[in-house]
Structures are given as C-alpha cells and as structure tokens.
Structure 1
Amino acid sequence: MARSSIIAIGASAGGVAALRSLAAALPSTLSAPILVVLHIGAYRSELPALLNAAGPLSAKHAEDGEAIYPGHIYVAPPDRHLIVADGRLRLLRGPKENCARPAIDPLFRSFAESYGPGAVGVVLTGNLNDGTLGLLEIKRCGGVAIAQDPTDADYPEMPRSAAEHVALDYCLPLAEIPKLLVELVDRKGGRDVAMPKNSSQRDGQEPEIIDSRTFERPLTVTCPDCGGALKRFEVGSIVKFGCHIGHSYTAENMAAAQFEEMEKVMRAAVRFLNERAEFCLQMAEHGWDGKPDASNDWHAASKQALDRAYKLRDLVEQDWLTPETSHQLALTLDGYEQTRLPG
C-alpha cells in the first residue's frame, strides 16, 4: 500500500466532537495536510478555533487558491464546496450535493483525481450517505478508504453506507483512527507518493469535471409553461416538442417561449438584487445592532448587490443570437419570392 501524502475527512451530525477528538490525538509532527468538510450549510462556523484549541495542529478555514502545507488542517468554510485543483485549494459555490454545501463528495472526487494512491479519505459520524461515492472514487484511484466503525459513531448512517458500498481498507473506532493516520503518513515502504496532477498532465484526455464550472448536458429539455419534460417528435418535416400536460411547440415557437421565460427569470433576479441592495442600505442607515462595523458590512453588501444587479441587467439587454427568428425570416422571404415567380 502506498504511503499517504494527504488526508481528507468528512463528517456530519456528531462531527464537531469527533473532529475535536481526532485533532487532540494527532501529533504536531504530522507530515501531511488534512482537509475537512463538516456539514454546516451557510451558518457561521467556529470549527477551526475548536480544532486549534483541541490539538497541536494549526487549523483554519480554507481560502480560495491557497497552497497546501503539511501539518495544517484546512476546513471548508460555510456555504462553499472545498476541492483540490492543480495542487491548490479551491472554494466553489456550486450546486448543493446530497442537500449540502459544503459537501464531502466534491472534495473526495477532486482529491482522488489529484492525488491517486497518495490520498486517504475518512468518513466519520453523520446521517444519510454523503462521502460514500467520493470514497469509492478514492478507492478506485488507488487511495486508502477509511470509515469510522458505525457501532462507534454517534450517528452511524454515513459510515455504515461507506462500509456497505466501498471495499474499505480500514473500519475502526474513532479512537484508533489518529494512530492509523500517523502510520500511513510515516510508512516508508510501498510505492512513491503520488504527486498532484494538473490538467496538462492528463495525457490529452478530457479533464474530469470536478469544480462545478462546466455544465453537463441536461437529461431533457423542459416545458417553458409548466416545467414538465418535453418529448421531441417529427410530423413530416416539422419538428415539434410536447409535454405530458399537453403543451406543444414547433421548434421555432419553443425557442421563442424558452427565450421569453429565460428573460423573465433573469429580470426577476435583477429585481431581487436591487431589492437586496435597498434592504441592506436601510439596515446600514438605521445602525443595525448599534455596531459601526456592522453598518460598514451592510453598506458593502448593498454596494455588492447593486453592482451585480447592473451587471446582470447589462447581460440581459445584450443582443442574443436568435437562429429561430432568422430561420423563420428566411422561410418567409423564400415564400414571398415564390409568389413573384412568373407562372
């Protein structure tokens, strides 16, 4: 088994106590970085301070683009997925996964892609099954898969799911995991540690989507009227789309209806941003909670919302490509020319 070079840990319910216990048992000489995701949603997190107080390793909230150093604990901040890309930490406000942001699976997937056999993934206490698919990917790439013994976890569902679906290398009580991590990091035998890979090192293959910045093709196109799935069919040479409610469109009408709905949604977003700017400005002007710093924060939030409202409005009002109208115009002109041909 390869010697580990980097550790990622995921936890949910009961995770604060478990992570503090783990941090307390790790030595200051640990020669590997630790990346941590705890399901905290968008709420304020004091986890780095709690881990700093619990053990000798330095803990902090991860920052976008920062380098990764041994002997440090990097915690996913509120409302941001934490991933690894090109040897650095990235923070993304991508879609929620398993109803969570930050979620464990995005970190584990990027972790496996970047470090291969040098990666160690650990799933601790928690409900449901976030972390299972990511741990499976770590295992597939040659890394080490660890789960807390479900019978030892305050909330056993997450580690139980990992144990049921992944060929774990270790399934241990929480008290035994710190010693195992030290042994994996310090082990001298086995293969060399895998180095982080970047996109230029992937043999010309399409890079795996790990940062939620590229959209997958949707499974279907939905109805602009009701949101139901549309079925595509042809009547002679005419392409039509219809949903199970009964709404139907020719291709040209579908494109026009879709564009109209898109513009409506984007203009609604402009309105919400403008209203947020006004709300934050009112809070700043009324001296919310009597703290000068808070007033400055409200002013900054108002300015940010207004700036983004202007940018989105400019985007909506740009010229858009509308091949459906161009095609319809060409057909109309062609028909007009035919009526003028001599008989």
Structure 2
Amino acid sequence: MDSDRGRDLVVVAASAGGVEPLRALVSRLPPGLRAAVLVVLHVSASAGSALAGILDRSGPLKAMPAEDGAPIAPGEIRVAVPDHHLLVHGGRQHLSRGPRYNGHRPAADLLFMSAALYGGPRVSGIVLSGTLDDGARGCAVIERHGGAVAVQDPRKSDFAGMPQAAAKAVERAHILDVTRLADWAVDQSLTPASGEETTPDEELRRELSRYLSPRLPDTPSGELTGFTCPECNGPLYEQRAMREQRYACRVGHSWSPDTMVSSQADVVERALWVAILRLEERHRLLERMIGAAAGQGHRMSLARLAEQARETREALETIRALQATLGGAWRGGQA
C-alpha cells in the first residue's frame, strides 16, 4: 500500500447496543470518502443480513454485504454476513466459515488483524458498543503495525466492555463521542499515515491462514492447560505473546480469558438446565411409581420410592437455587 496516502481502510466493530452507533457513524461519513469501510457486527448465525440495508439508508455511502473475492473499494461500506468471518486478503474481501473466534463468527479481531497485516499504517480501527473484549487484540495489532485506533466513549456506550477493552489494549487510542468518530475517520483518510510499518508478524500470518483456506486440525503452539474448549470440548493450549494471553484448541477455536470465562458460564448454565429437566422428569416418574405402589399395598417399595423422591426434590431445589444466582458477575469480563 502507498504510504504517502492517508489511512484508506477503516475497520469497525460493534456488538450489543452497536446498531445505533453504527448508524450515527455512517450518517456522518461524506460522499467521496477516500477510504473503504469494513464492518463487523456480532449477530447470531440464523440472523438475517439486514444491517447492510440499514446502513445504506443511513448515509450517502453505498453499503452492501461483503462478497468473497470482491475488491476493497474507497467510498464503499461492506458488512460481514452472518455466520461468516470477514477478513482482508490481498486487497480483497475474504469470507470464511472457519472456527469461531472469541465465541463469534464473524469476529472483530480477525477482521482487524488481517487488515493490519495487509494495510499496515494505512488502517484505522473503530470499536463501538459491545460486551466483553472482541476487537481488543485486533486493535493492538493495528497499532503495532502503525495504524490508528479510536473507540466510542465507554461512558456513553450502551455496553462499555468492547470499547473499554480496546482502550486498555491501546494506550494511545482516541476516546470519542460517537458523533466525532466519523470526523476522526475522515481526518485519518486525508492525513498521510505517520505510523511506522513493522515487519509482518509471521506467527500471526500463520494463525490467520487457518481462516483463509480449509485446514485439518493441528496442535497449537503453547502449553497444554488441562482446560477444555467450550465450543468443541477439545484440549486447550495457553498462548502468550506481546502481553496477550489466549487459549486455543486443535480445531482452531480461540479465546481471550474474558470470552473463555463467559463461554464456560454458558456451558455450565446449559448443563444446569439439562439437570433441572432430568430431575423434574425423575421426580414425576417417582410420584407415579409411588401411586402404583400404594395402590398395590407394597409398603417396602413405597418407603424406598418416597425416600428417592425426597432426595430428588432436594437436589432439584438446590440446582434451581444455584441456577437463579448466575448473573453478570458469574459470567466474568466486562459489561
């Protein structure tokens, strides 16, 4: 990329509470913007891809769903489609159904890191409202490759987790009201990129290659932890580099500590609901058996079944009480 030009690739990440800030950002971007804009919003795999249409109606720039292999063009907004990662590869958009990253597909970190590898100091990263910390690692990589980072003011975000985590990862991040983020992006696109482009990170390039072409599972670098992946139950390896701590499995699922804790909480909650269902069924079955034993005069069976029903009811009450206590603090991370 031509380093005499401005930062002409803007990557944007949002999650919970992020649609309105995205609309506000897009509404203030001018026609003829000298930068391409790529957007990741966390959505479920079954969600419709309505965001591109929403953003297209919000401002003067054309917004469209991302297309695999399509060029990255200035003055154009491309939006990650549900259940697909969006990456930058060779100046083109790349869609991947590779392993979930931080529990998400699409994931902000993958877009940001691949953009940094491609664009170096010509990349601007923006993080809007969202929970936990997807995008924080990507912001650190953008800065490390000479790019610039801005975040929505966490105090004015519906969910402060993502912008807070990004600001923590990048000490020089610009913390701005959402109404000022568009002006910042425009300024970055007009000012020659001043950051120094570093030597490409070959380890990061290898990590991203998993999402650029299909690969068989392999053993990650790092130390085996004894933990299991919340997504596939495979063994997890701890990876540490550049003050970053992550957990990865052989399939390729990758977790920050915060997303790992949150995903473990989801697994535990699902297990508790299954246990509640099974115990309720067991208790109902025992009640039927007690009725049958009473009708047939089987006193010994009646006493044994009554004791089993009592123990089952106590276990059910204990697990219901535990499940009711699992709130935000249990999930860990940031709001």
Partner in structure 2 of residue 28 of structure 1: 31
Partner in structure 2 of residue 132 of structure 1: 136
How much has 1:175 moved relative to structure 2?
Answer: 0.6
Q: Which residue pairs with 1:151 in the alignment? A: 155
- The residue type paired with residue 181 of structure 1 is A
Distance 2:36 2:196 in 1: 14
Q: Which residue does 1:100 correspond to in 2?
A: 104
Aligned residues: 220
| Superposed structure 1 runs of 4+ greater than 3 Å apart | 189-194, 201-208, 213-216, 218-222
Q: Deviations over 1:182-238 (max 9, x none)?
A: 111112x455998xxxxxx9799994331424555246599xxxx896xxxxxxxxx
RMSD: 3.0
CA contact (8 A) 1:104 1:134 kept: yes
Shift of 1:93: 0.4
Q: TM-score, normalised by structure 2?
A: 0.60
**Residues 83, 28 of structure 1: CA spacing in aligned structure 2 closer, same or farther, 3 A cutoff?**
same
Give the corresponding residue for 2:48.
44
State the AA in 1 paired with 2:158: D
Q: Quick check: which has more Rg, 1 or 2?
A: 1
Secondary structure class of the residue paired with 1:129? coil
Q: Deviations over 1:102-142 (max 9, x none)?
A: 11011011011111100111110001111001111111111
Q: For 2:129, what is the secondary structure of its paired residue?
A: coil
TM-score normalised by length of structure 1: 0.59
- Aligned partners of 2:102, 2:193: CA distance in 1, in Å? 35
**Cα distance per residue 1:75-126 (max 9 Å; x no partner):** 0001000000111110000111111111101101101111110011111000
Matches within 5 A, 1:184-333: 184-187=188-191, 189=192, 191=194, 207-212=205-210, 213=213, 214=215, 215-218=217-220
1:167 corresponding residue in structure 2: 171
Cα distance change, pair 170–60 in 1 and its aligned pair in 2 (3 A): same
- The Cα shift of 1:168 comes to 3.0
* Paired residue type of 1:4: R
Q: 1:217 to 1:175 in 2, by over 3 A?
A: same
The answer to whether the 8 A contact 1:35-1:73 is kept is yes
The match for 2:187 is 183
2:8 maps to which of 5, 8, 24? 5
| 1:228–1:47 Cα change, 3 Å | closer
- Corresponding position: 1:58 with 2:62: yes
Equivalent residue of 1:19, what SS? helix
Residue aligned with 1:98, SS? coil
Whole-angstrom CA distance in 1 between matches of 2:204 and 2:169: 27
Q: Deviations over 1:3-50 (max 9, x none)?
A: 312100000011111111111111111111000000012111200110
Measured in 2, the distance between the counterparts of 1:5 and 1:171 equals 20
Provide the rounded CA distance (Å) in 2 between the counterparts of 1:91 and 1:122: 20
Contact 1:3 1:193 in 2 (8 A): no
Q: 2: distance between equivalents of 1:82 and 1:121? A: 15
- Give the unaligned 5+ runs of structure 2: 227-232, 236-335
Query: Matched residues in 1 for 2:71 and 2:116: separation?
Result: 17
Aligned to 1:308: none
What are the superposed Cα offsets for residues 147-194 of structure 1, whole Å, 9 maximum, x if unpaired?
A: 11101111111101111222233111101101111111112x455998
Do 2:65 and 2:80's aligned partners in 1 also have CA atoms closer than 8 Å?
yes
Give yes or no for contact 2:121–2:193 (8 Å, CA) kept in 1.
Answer: no
**8 A contact 2:130–2:161 mirrored in 1:** yes
For the structure 1 residues 45 and 168, does the alpha-carbon distance in structure 2 shift closer, same or farther, using more than 3 Å as the test?
farther
SS of alignment partner, residue 209 of structure 1: helix
Q: Secondary structure at the match of 2:64?
A: strand
Contact 1:6 1:118 in 2 (8 A): yes
Gaps of 5+ in 1: 195-200, 230-343
User: Alignment partner of 1:29: what SS?
Assistant: coil
CA pair 101-28 structure 1, distance change in 2 beyond 3 A? same
Higher relative contact order (CA 8 A, sep 6+): 2
What are the Cα deviations for residues 265-299 of structure 1, in whole angstroms up to 9, with x where unaligned?
A: xxxxxxxxxxxxxxxxxxxxxxxxxxxxxxxxxxx
Change (3 A) 1:164 1:58: same
Secondary structure of 1:54's counterpart equals: coil
Q: Share of identical aligned residues, percent?
A: 39
